[in-house]
Structure 1
Amino acid sequence: MDRIEAMRAFVAVVAEGSFSNAATSMQLSPQLVSKYVAKLEDQLGIRLLNRTTRKVSLTEAGTHYVQHAQQILLSIDEMDSQLGGLQQNPKGTLRISAPVSFALKHMAKLITDFQLQYPLVNIELQLNDRKIDIVDEGFDIALRIGNLKDSSLIAKYIAPIRVILCASPEYLKKHGTPKQPEDLKNHRYLHYNYSEIDSKDNIYQWLNAKNIDTRGGFDSNNGDILVEAAIAGAGLALQPTFIASNAISSGQLTQVLADFELKPLGLYAVYAHRKLLPSKVRCFIDFIENYYGSPPTWDQSLLNQTARSY
Structure 2
Amino acid sequence: MDRIEAMRAFIHVVQEGTFTRAAERLDTSPQLVSKYVSQLEQHLGLRLLNRTTRRIHLTEAGNRYYQGAQQVLTDIDDMESQLGDLHTRAQGVLRISAPVSFAMHHLPPLLSAFQKAHPAVTIDLQLNDRKVDIVEEGFDVALRIGHLKSSSLIAKRIAPIRVVLCASPDYLKQHGTPTTPEDLIDHHYLHYTYMDMDSIKPIQKTLLSIGHDNRGIVSNNGDVLVATAMEGAGIVLQPTFISGAAIREGKLRIILREYEPEPIALYAVYAHRQLLASKVRSFIDFIDGFFGDPPYWDRFE
TM-score w.r.t. the length of structure 1 is 0.67
User: Do the aligned partners of 2:147 and 2:199 also contact (CA within 8 Å) in 1?
Assistant: no
Which residue number in structure 2 is paired with residue 92 of structure 1?
Answer: 92
Letter in 1 for 2:228: A
Letter in 2 for 1:185: I
Is 1:157 the counterpart of 2:157 in the alignment? yes
Shift of 1:85: 7.8
Which residue number in structure 2 is paired with residue 291 of structure 1?
Answer: 290
Q: Equivalents in 1 of 2:85, 2:189: separation in Å?
A: 50
Where in structure 2 are the equivalents of 1:233-248 lying within 5 Å? 233-248=232-247
Deviations 1:84-109 (A, max 9, x none): 78843111110000000000000001
Which residue number in structure 2 is paired with residue 229 of structure 1?
Answer: 228
Q: Equivalents in 1 of 2:190, 2:258: separation in Å?
A: 20
Where in structure 2 are the equivalents of 1:1-310 lying within 5 Å? 87-196=87-196, 198-199=197-198, 201-202=200-201, 204-207=203-206, 215-216=213-214, 217-300=216-299, 302=300, 306=301
Q: How many residues align?
A: 223
| Unaligned runs of at least 5 residues, structure 2 | 1-77
User: Do the aligned partners of 2:164 and 2:239 also contact (CA within 8 Å) in 1?
Assistant: yes
| Structure possessing the higher radius of gyration over alpha carbons | 1
Aligned CA distance change for structure 1 residues 202 and 81 (closer, same or farther; 3 Å):
farther
SS in 2 for 1:107: helix
Shift of 1:132: 0.5
Shift of 1:125: 0.5
Shift of 1:154: 0.4
User: Do the aligned partners of 1:153 and 1:271 also contact (CA within 8 Å) in 2?
Assistant: yes
Q: Equivalents in 1 of 2:152, 2:85: separation in Å?
A: 24
Q: Equivalents in 1 of 2:211, 2:120: separation in Å?
A: 54
Shift of 1:278: 0.4
Letter in 1 for 2:281: R
Q: Equivalents in 1 of 2:199, 2:92: separation in Å?
A: 41
Deviations 1:161-215 (A, max 9, x none): 000000000000000011222222310100111133x225255522168x67862
Deviations 1:42-81 (A, max 9, x none): xxxxxxxxxxxxxxxxxxxxxxxxxxxxxxxxxxxx9x97
| Unaligned runs of at least 5 residues, structure 1 | 1-77
Name which of structure 1's ranges 211-220 and 229-238 shifts more when overlaid on structure 2. Answer: 211-220
TM-score w.r.t. the length of structure 2 is 0.69
> Percent identical across equivalent pairs?
58
- Structure 1 moving runs of 4+ over 6 Å: 80-86, 211-214
Aligned CA distance change for structure 1 residues 83 and 168 (closer, same or farther; 3 Å):
farther
User: Do the aligned partners of 1:185 and 1:213 also contact (CA within 8 Å) in 2?
Assistant: no
Aligned CA distance change for structure 1 residues 298 and 200 (closer, same or farther; 3 Å):
closer
SS in 2 for 1:199: helix
Shift of 1:284: 0.3
Root-mean-square deviation (Å): 2.4
Letter in 2 for 1:118: H
User: Do the aligned partners of 1:187 and 1:214 also contact (CA within 8 Å) in 2?
Assistant: no
